Amino acid sequence: DRNCILVVDDDREFTAAVCIALEKLFPQMDIIKAYDGNQALNLAESRRPAIIILDMMLPKRSGFLLLEKVRRKDEGTRIKPYVIMVTANEGARHQAYAEMLGVNKYLKKPFNMEQLTNEVTTAVSVM
């Protein structure tokens, strides 16, 4: 769904804040959310969002496993979701792994909402 953004984070306050910011900036987009990796995978497969904002550390299935699944499923298709991974983890190893899996952008928490919305604006502009 080219008009869909999936926000995945187990921190419900963070997820709510991101969704509110995105709904204001992108009223034409359907903003959906998931709080664990399995729920996110189901939504990613059923809705095929244009953009996924993905936490690395999630219950049930990590952001890395989700990213790997999403990228593998989309190998043969022309349209791939733009994936922005967000994490509180400082390790450079994790960022390198995310980039190897095909993440488009890697943001370290805490970041200001403007950084995230600028990234989403960039993603929307290349859709």
Q: What digits encode the pLDDT tens for the residues 35-52?
A: 999 999 999 989 999 999
pLDDT of residue 72: 79
pLDDT of residue 79: 58
Q: Which two tokens stand for residue 4?
A: 């869909």
pLDDT tens digits for range 84-110: 999 988 778 989 999 999 999 999 988
pLDDT of residue 42: 93
pLDDT of residue 109: 87
Report helix angle 113-125 to 12-25, nearest 10. Answer: 50
pLDDT tens digits for range 18-36: 999 999 999 999 999 999 9
pLDDT of residue 89: 81
pLDDT tens digits for range 5-18: 999 999 999 999 99
Strand partners, 51: 5, 82
pLDDT of residue 107: 93
How sure is the predictor about 75, in pLDDT bands with cuts at 50, 70 and 90?
low
pLDDT of residue 127: 74
Residue listed under structure tokens 């900036």 = 25
Q: Which two tokens stand for residue 98?
A: 């995310």
C-alpha angle 118/84/96, rounded to 5°? 120
- Where are any strands of DSSP class E within 9-58? 30-34, 51-55
- CB neighbours of residue 68 within 10 Å: 15
